[in-house]
Amino acid sequence: FGLDLELTGAALASVAARFTIAGAALWAIHRHHGGFGRPDFAGLAGDTRPVFAIAIPAILTQLATPVGQAYVTRAMAEYGEEAVAGMAIVGRLTPVAFAVIFALSGAVGPIIAQNAGARNTDRVTRAFRDALLFTGAVTLLVSAVLFALRGPLEWLFALHEAGTARTLVFLFAGPLSLLWFFNGVIFVANAGFNNLGHPFYSTMTNWGRHTLGTVPLVILFAGWFGAPGVLIGQAAGGVIFALISLVLARRILGEAPEAPRHSFPLHARIVQVFTHRR
Is the pLDDT at 96 greater than 70? The verdict is yes
Closest to 99 measured CA to CA, from 183, 4, 212, 190: 183
Mean pLDDT value of segment 4-21: 81
Report pLDDT for 159. 83
In a domain, 242, yes or no: yes
Is the pLDDT at 261 greater than 60? The verdict is no
Report pLDDT for 235. 94
**Confidence label for 123 from pLDDT (cuts 50, 70 and 90):** confident
d(C-alpha 96, C-alpha 92), whole Å: 7
Mean pLDDT value of segment 141-151: 93
In a domain, 238, yes or no: yes
In a domain, 208, yes or no: yes
Question: Dihedral (C-alpha) 228, 232, 235, 239: value to the nearest 10 degrees?
Answer: 170
273: alpha, beta or left, given left = phi > 0 and alpha = psi -120 to 50? alpha
Is the pLDDT at 272 greater than 60? The verdict is no
pLDDT digits (tens, 9 = 90+) for 194-247: 888 888 888 899 999 999 999 999 999 999 999 999 999 999 999 999 999 999
> For all residues of the chain together, what is the average pLDDT?
84
Whole domain around residue 237: which residue ranges? Answer: 57-275
d(C-alpha 211, C-alpha 227), whole Å: 19
Please state, in angstroms and as integers, the Cα–Cα distance from residue 164 to each residue in 149, 188, 225, 235, following that order.
18, 33, 12, 18
More confident residue, 276 or 103: 103
| 33-37, 109-113, 114-118, 199-203: range with lowest mean pLDDT | 33-37
Quick count: other Cβ atoms within 10 Å of Cβ 132? 20
Report pLDDT for 199. 82
Q: pTM of the predicted model, to two decimals?
A: 0.77
In a domain, 38, yes or no: no
Please state, in angstroms and as integers, the Cα–Cα distance from residue 93 to each residue in 80, 88, 96, 118, 259, following that order.
20, 9, 5, 39, 43
d(C-alpha 249, C-alpha 247), whole Å: 5
User: How far does CA 125 lie from the centroid of its chain?
Assistant: 20
In a domain, 21, yes or no: no
Contact assessment for residue 162 and residue 79, using Cβ atoms and an 8 Å cutoff: no
Question: Dihedral (C-alpha) 266, 267, 271, 274: value to the nearest 10 degrees?
Answer: 70
Report pLDDT for 107. 86
Report pLDDT for 163. 84
d(C-alpha 141, C-alpha 121), whole Å: 31
Report pLDDT for 273. 42
Mean pLDDT value of segment 70-90: 91
In a domain, 49, yes or no: no
Percent of residues, the chain, with pLDDT higher than 90: 39
**Amino acid residing at 204:** M
Into how many domains does the chain fold?
A: 1
d(C-alpha 93, C-alpha 90), whole Å: 5
Report pLDDT for 259. 46
How much is the CA Rg of the chain, to the nearest whole Å? Answer: 22
**Confidence label for 271 from pLDDT (cuts 50, 70 and 90):** very low
In a domain, 14, yes or no: no
pLDDT digits (tens, 9 = 90+) for 20-74: 999 998 888 888 777 777 777 777 777 787 777 777 877 888 888 889 999 999 9
Is the pLDDT at 7 greater than 80? The verdict is no
* Maximal CA-CA distance, the chain: 71
**Amino acid residing at 137:** A
Is the pLDDT at 263 greater than 80? The verdict is no
Of the CA atoms within 13 Å of residue 88, those in its CB half-sphere come to 12
Of the CA atoms within 13 Å of residue 31, those in its CB half-sphere come to 6
In a domain, 34, yes or no: no
Please state, in angstroms and as integers, the Cα–Cα distance from residue 9 to each residue in 19, 24, 74, 179, 259, following that order.
15, 22, 23, 33, 57
Closest to 178 measured CA to CA, from 143, 213, 230, 151: 143
